[in-house]
Chains A and B, each alone.
Chain A
Amino acid sequence: GDQVEQSPSALSLHEGTGSALRCNFTTTMRAVQWFQQNSRGSLINLFYLASGTKENGRLKSTFNSKESYSTLHIRDAQLEDSGTYFCAAEAGDSNYQLIWGSGTKLIIKP
């Protein structure tokens, strides 16, 4: 079965508001990465976490390996935040494989 469950699948926010995306893992993961895919298809690295919390501007991400989840918080959303967000996790038994979530399509409205 799916090892990475990402939610929500789609999200619409007004500019200036915020929300959280979540990935639940059904197996032990060593680390998680978050990416934003823009309209051209380019994947932009947002965060890499082996544990704990990282913050970058209006984005904050947490990885709790014991409770098997990761979150990505967006605050004060801007139009350029629109895109599809993916989490991708490294399973404990492989250094070279990422297991990807199904993505969250985020639309920011003026």
Chain B
Amino acid sequence: AQTIHQWPVAEIKAVGSPLSLGCTIKGKSSPNLYWYWQATGGTLQQLFYSITVGQVESVVQLNLSASRPKDDQFILSTEKLLLSHSGFYLCAWGQGDTQYFGPGTRLLVL
């Protein structure tokens, strides 16, 4: 069975500080991977997707970047956080049709 893990579970960070969020998928080779952002009470906004190692496509950047250093790993990062980065970050994997989501990371930027 496939499992998807996100870390950390939650973060409180200062404006201007760096951020790195991680996502790993086990039990699935060469999945498509996705990063989403959700404001509190809002809908999901797709940020990035990757269909293979080393390749990442941007949908909406929001002053964030993403990388896929390994087949089963997807990283979301920024060097300087903004207040507007607060929210819920979700990683998902998919292959062919539907997408399956991780438990998410809650980020509060102060």
Contact = CB atoms under 8 A, between A and B. Distances in A.
B101 A97 contact: no
Interface stretch (A11-19, A40-48, A60-68): A40-48
B106 to A, nearest CB: 7
A4 to B, nearest CB: 9
B2 to A, nearest CB: 12
Contacts, number: 46
B90 A43 contact: yes
A103 B45 CA distance: 12
A103 B57 contact: no
B44 A41 contact: no
Contact of A86 (B34, B43, B98): B43
What is the interface residue range for chain B against chain A? 20 to 34
A61 B78 CA distance: 39
B14 interface: no
A41 B103 contact: yes
B49 interface: yes
Contacts of A98: 44, 46, 99
Given A35-B101, A97-B46, 7 more contacts: A31-B97, A41-B104, A45-B98, A48-B98, A86-B44, A100-B45, A103-B43
Interface of A: 31, 33, 35, 40-43, 45, 48, 50, 86, 88, 96-98, 100-103
10 contacts: A40-B103, A41-B90, A86-B44, A96-B34, A96-B57, A97-B49, A98-B46, A100-B43, A100-B45, A102-B43
